[in-house]
Structure 1
Amino acid sequence: MSDYTGDVTSGGPAAVRDLPALTVTKVSVGPFDNNAYLLESKATGTRVLIDAAADPATLLTLTGDRLDAVITTHQHGDHWQALGDVVAATGATTYAGREDADGIPVPTANAVDDGDRVRVGDIELEAIHLVGHTPGSIALLYRDPTGIPHLFTGDCLFPGGVGNTWKDPEKFTSLYDGVVVKIFDRLPDETWVYPGHGKDTTLGAERPHLVEWRERGW
């Protein structure tokens, strides 16, 4: 395993993780310290950006003028502030969860449903629809053929809990149950979690706290 930790700061250097078939580059941008992730195929050079959150100049420096797709994890504005500029500069194809697409001002070319395989060149990600933080949030699962699973969770799962549901019990229950059933019940402890803000984690680090999260309601 490389020395990648996933610790980045806004305005600071990117963190680069070298996987057998992909390079994952993480950068923090903008006033809300959003994480953006660039996935690049080693075989073909295909590039996919997850969340063009802010600071288009930073993201375009990262991607260059060749970007194949941008996937937006959900409709909250801090996750798409740079989307229009990035798409205009690169011509990248846009993807987002179907129920959130109308809330993103840049048109979504491909609306994504639960369980869909998002295939961009030789990069394949599984969409996991999670309801509660927004109606159409998606997490994106990359199954490394020779290594651990990698999960990009947007604002649905962080170190220490699920995403914000604004003290709404119904939304919390929906998000919590979705995260447990669709993520923790399906994926192993070594699954690496890349959230929309802050530090990375693993499912194994978070699993012992699931009952605590349910009992506190956030």
Structure 2
Amino acid sequence: MSYHGNVTVGGPADVRELAPLMITKLAVGPHDNNTYLLRCRLTDEQLLIDAAAEPERLLKTINGSLAAVVTTHQHPDHWQALQAVVNATGARTAAGEHDADAIPVHTDVRLRDGETIHVGYIPLRVIRLTGHTPGSIALLYDDPKGHPHLFTGDCLFPGGVGSTQNDPDRFTSLYNGVVEKIFNVLPDETWVYPGHGRDTTLGTERPHLEEWRTRGW
């Protein structure tokens, strides 16, 4: 079956199989968070994006060794299972340098905008997006034989950018970052994997950018 990304808390994961990379999407409760397990198919090295909750389900999905856990931002619903997963696997932890101190699990690698983190041979480029939190990050895998794959945490969803708590300065920062660093440089085929809910593509969302700017959220 082809990947669709429509997962529910308590339900099965969905798996996307690319030639060099496997992407497993799982929804965990109680806040309906998405967590993504990336596996390099050449090395079998694995990286988890957001150990959000339900560590037993995460560890069952990992089902083996884990090299690293990347936390997309400091909000507690994205790291509730982090300590348990690290204790069980010995994985390194990574987060955006400007959010790391607010995550109560030690961050081994502080990621800067534009840096690259690898899972096996797969490069993931770090994109800092300020506004939802000071140091939120997205991770980009630009598949050389296909379209880009973008893991956006809570910065970009179907229908808009993430919450900025009605703060106009924070909204402007996040909106401008998403437009300049994502929409202005990546193609419509880019697949977006958000921190909650269903997936989308940049092509689906691009026609609504002006609407988002006007409404301010």
Task: Give TM-score scaled by structure 2 length.
Answer: 0.99
- TM-superposed CA distance for 1:64, in Å, is 1.9
CA deviations 1:50-85 (Å, max 9, x no partner) are 000000000000002410110000000000000000
Corresponding residue for residue 126 of structure 1: 125
- How do 1:77-96 residues align onto structure 2 when only pairs under 5 Å count? 77-96=76-95
Q: Percent identity among equivalent residues?
A: 65
What residue is the counterpart of 1:37 in the other structure? 36
In structure 1, what is the equivalent of residue 145 of structure 2? 146
- Taking the aligned partners of 1:194 and 1:134, their CA distance within structure 2 comes to 18
* Cα separation, 2, equivalents of 1:216 and 1:104: 31
Match of 2:128, SS state, is strand
Deviation, structure 1 residue 122: 1.4
Deviation at 1:124, TM superposition (A): 1.2
Structure-2 residue corresponding to 1:108: 107
For 1:106 and 1:30, locate their aligned partners in 2 and report how far apart those are by CA, in whole Å: 20
Say if 2:69 and 2:93, in contact at 8 Å, map to a contact too. Answer: yes
Task: Write the distance in 1 (CA, Å) between the matches of 2:95 and 2:29.
Answer: 21
Look up the equivalent residue of 2:11 and give its one-letter code: G
Structure 1 range deviating more: 111-120 or 72-81: 111-120
- Give the corresponding residue for 2:9: 10
The unaligned stretches of length 5 or more in structure 1 are none
Residue of structure 2 in register with 1:182 after alignment: 181
* Deviating 4+ runs (over 3 angstroms): none
Does the aligned pair in 2 maintain the 1:65–1:89 contact within 8 Å?
Answer: no
Query: How far, CA to CA, are the matches of 1:69 and 1:123 in structure 2?
Result: 13
Counterparts of 1:101 and 1:13, CA distance in 2: 31
Number of equivalent positions? 217
Asked if 2 retains the 8 angstrom alpha-carbon contact of 1:37 and 1:51, the reply is yes
Q: Give, in angstroms, the shift of residue 188 of structure 1.
A: 0.1
7-16 vs 119-128, greater mean Cα deviation: 119-128
